Amino acid sequence: MSDFKQTFNSSLGKKLIMALTGLFLCTFLIVHLGGNLLLFSKDGGFGFNVYANFLTHFPPVEVVAYLLYLSIIVHAVYALVLTIGNRKARPVKYASSNNSPASVSSKNMGLLGSILLVFIVIHMSDFWYKYKYTDTVAFKEYRTNLSSGITTVSDFTPTSKDFEHSVSTQGDEEVVRVKDIHTKVAASFGQLWYVIIYVIAMGALSFHLLHGFQSAFRTVGWIHRKYTPVIEFVGTWLFAVIIPLGFALMPLVYYFQSLSK
């Protein structure tokens, strides 16, 4: 056990933990983006509200969510420890410089990570915390005609304080009542300051993943001349371009839609 503890207390062990938690967070980003794309559905928020309800009430998903929160904390703490350790070990910077995007990312991982950590705190306090632990998020009722498939939406006020959600059938209609986080998202994305913070954070995420994704594979030893180019391609185009851009488009689209109303 002492050897195991010593291994994970070493610099290599810390980097391994960083790599594994980082790759887990990368997997979450793909799933999260897929769910958030429901924001673009023209269904009165039905798909997104049902998705949010599923995330917060399906036990296996809740377990994964708490593993995610733990991974964020561990990733951030170990990043801080490694950054401080590296600065103590090399107080004088190298004279040579490389201004390529990948090099800029690798040199500023601490700053990029700090920006993302601040954003995560703001983001979760504005959405997740208010959704789970306050009564500031209202409810919507969605009635879908089972014959025509047409869905109508209206406000809903629960009679019980403990009400969370319900699905029932009334005649030829399916009735779904859920918390309306979609309206909260639209309200937040209608504020310019929030949009700016969100876009800056997604820019930081892009540069963070440009170096971090590929670095994680090198740390765990998954290096091969046949597969490394694939990893670099996925790390660059999927994680450093497509995913951050997909997230950034959400507040931008909602903000400009709010200006046209």
Residue ending a domain, choose from 179, 211, 245: 179
Same domain, 150 and 187: no
> What whole-number distance in Å separates Cα of residue 176 and Cα of residue 114?
40
Range of the domain at 118: 2-134+183-259
Same domain, 160 and 43: no
Check residue 162 and give its pLDDT.
85
CB atoms within 10 A of CB 59: 7
Same domain, 247 and 209: yes
Residue ending a domain, choose from 179, 207, 239: 179
Same domain, 9 and 127: yes
What are the per-10-residue average pLDDT scores of the chain (261 residues)? 56 82 93 94 93 90 89 86 69 52 71 90 92 91 93 93 90 94 95 96 94 87 81 92 96 93 71
> What whole-number distance in Å separates Cα of residue 185 and Cα of residue 167?
23
Alpha-carbon distance values, 35 to 22, 88, 111, 164, 193 (Å)? 20, 42, 28, 20, 24
DSSP at 40: G
Among residues 250, 129, 245, 141, the alpha carbon closest in space to that of 185 is found at: 250
Same domain, 73 and 199: yes
Same domain, 11 and 83: yes
Report long-range pairs for 94-100 (Cβ below 8 Å, ≥24 apart).
none
Q: Give the predicted TM-score (pTM) of the model.
A: 0.86
Same domain, 61 and 99: yes
Same domain, 175 and 62: no
Specify the CATH number for the domain of residue 190: 1.20.1300.10
Check residue 224 and give its pLDDT.
75
Residue ending a domain, choose from 179, 207, 238: 179
DSSP per-residue string spanning 148-195: T--EEEEEE--SSTT---EEEEETTEEEEEEE-HHHHHHHHHTSHHHH
Same domain, 199 and 163: no
Same domain, 91 and 219: yes
Same domain, 149 and 249: no
Please give the order of strands across the beta sheet that includes 151-156: 151-156, 139-145, 173-179, 166-170
Same domain, 205 and 153: no
How many structural domains is the chain composed of?
2
